[in-house]
Amino acid sequence: MPSRRMSLLLCATIVLFSSLLAACGSPSTMKLAGNAMLPNFHDGQVVNVQTVSASDLRRFDVVIFKKEGITNMKRLIGMPGDMVTIQDGQVFINGAVLDEPYDVSGSTQAQGTSAYTLGTDEFFVLGDNREHSTDSRMFGPVLASEVTKRVAS
């Protein structure tokens, strides 16, 4: 019965491939709400997102996270262990001016504390539309466990 063997092999291959795809973070989509990420992402835009582990995150990734029950999308600026300082409208990481390789709208002003030392499981996030974004300047660092997805590039 070669055809039965082939069917079993095909089923096993499909199950294995599906398991690998789920483990690697299969892509899905998300519709954005709000203008905090202008000019790079727009209200109503649909983006591809994927599940990601904290160890795979990199500076400048755009991530989806839940903070106080609200789903947010922001850009990772500070990584675990970083010292993030906002001074005179500029962002500094560990004392060096952050060179942001994407468009930023508005001035980066600190509201409240302007220096943050991140723990081993903390990230600092900012919206690209700095004057119209509620982000780590207001609610503090985002925990690695709060990050659920990354916008696929």
Tens of pLDDT, residue by residue, the chain (153 residues): 455 554 433 333 343 333 434 444 556 999 999 999 999 999 999 999 999 999 999 999 999 999 989 999 999 999 999 999 998 888 999 999 999 989 888 777 765 558 999 999 999 999 999 999 999 999 999 999 999 999 997
Tokens of 147: 């990050």
Q: In Å, how far are 34, 81, 109, 145 from 122, measured between CA atoms? A: 24, 8, 21, 9
pTM score of the predicted model: 0.79
Of 103, 92, 91, 85, nearest to 39 by C-alpha is 103
Give CA–CA dist 8/23, Å, rounded. Answer: 23
Q: What is the CATH number of the domain that holds 61?
A: 2.10.109.10
Contact 48, 147 (CB under 8 A): no
Domains: count for the chain: 1
Residue 121 lies in a domain: yes
Structural domain for 67, as ranges: 27-151
